[in-house]
Structure 1
Amino acid sequence: MLIVMMIEDLLADLGCNSVTSAATVDKALALIDAQAFDVALLDMNLNGDDSYPVAEALFARGVPFAYSTGNTGQSVRDSNPDRVVLKKPFKLEDLVAILTRLKLAPIK
């Protein structure tokens, strides 16, 4: 939870207006169905479950997203093999680079 709060603070510092988080696959899928997202940062593990169903839902809706993981050997198996990956731990500059790569860098 502390990491989520840190990421939310980093995004706020970058000028993001709204940040939503989900700790489980079911909650993430419900949020995707309930609202629109400009971009998503998706941990590869949500409360012990693979987040691939969430990745598939984001991809199907055209939401640009990046995986975030501390597992260096874990592969990205979704339908887009070029998926952007943000390696943990990361710095503000790394987050900005990922957002820029997704073409959604907040203007400050």
Structure 2
Amino acid sequence: MKQASILIVEDEALIRMMLVQMVEELGHRVAAEAGSVDLGQSLAETEDYDCAILDINLHGTNVLPVAEAVAGRGIPFLFLSGYGSGGVPDAFKGVPVLNKPCSSDALMRVLAVILPDSTTQKPEDKARTIS
């Protein structure tokens, strides 16, 4: 399995912790985490990562500058939202949106789409594949 490194930008600490746990359970690693647009943009511009998970609304501020930084580097990403696809910046209407809180299965499916070279499986799925 190719392990992906993932940038997580989410302002709600409990949801961010849940995402970290899900990412790790899916066999990937978290490269960096941020809870604000400013820190998220800085990390998006400087960190080494394979994809990003971006909450659309960070403390009332749209994540657009972070999405632009990620997209500018040619790195795939997905949005998280408590409001569905509302709030997705116009330039990124085709980017996948997961409703939060999302399930591990939903995250796994979207990661499999945006990271086509990675194999994203739960540990119990790997056991079934091997046996």
Aligned to 2:65: 53
Tell me whether 1:33 sits opposite 2:45 in the alignment.
Answer: yes
Does the CA contact (< 8 Å) of 1:43 and 1:68 recur in 2?
Answer: yes
Aligned to 1:106: 120
Runs of 4+ in 1 over 6 A off after TM superposition: none
Percent identity of equivalent pairs: 33
In structure 2, relative to structure 1, the CA distance for the partners of 1:3 and 1:101 (3 Å cut) is same
TM-score w.r.t. length of structure 1: 0.88
TM-score w.r.t. length of structure 2: 0.74
Aligned to 2:74: 62
**Structure 2: any 5+ residue segments left out of the alignment?**
1-12, 127-131
**Pairs within 5 Å for 1:1-108:** 1-72=13-84, 74-103=86-115, 104-106=118-120
**d(CA) in 2 for partners of 1:73, 1:7:** 19
Does the CA contact (< 8 Å) of 2:34 and 2:40 recur in 1?
Answer: yes
Task: State the Cα RMSD in Å.
Answer: 1.7
1:22-61 residue CA offsets vs partner (Å, 9 max, x unmatched):
1111101111222121000000011221101111111111
Q: Larger C-alpha radius of gyration, 1 or 2?
A: 2
**What SS does structure 1 have at the residue aligned with 2:78?**
strand
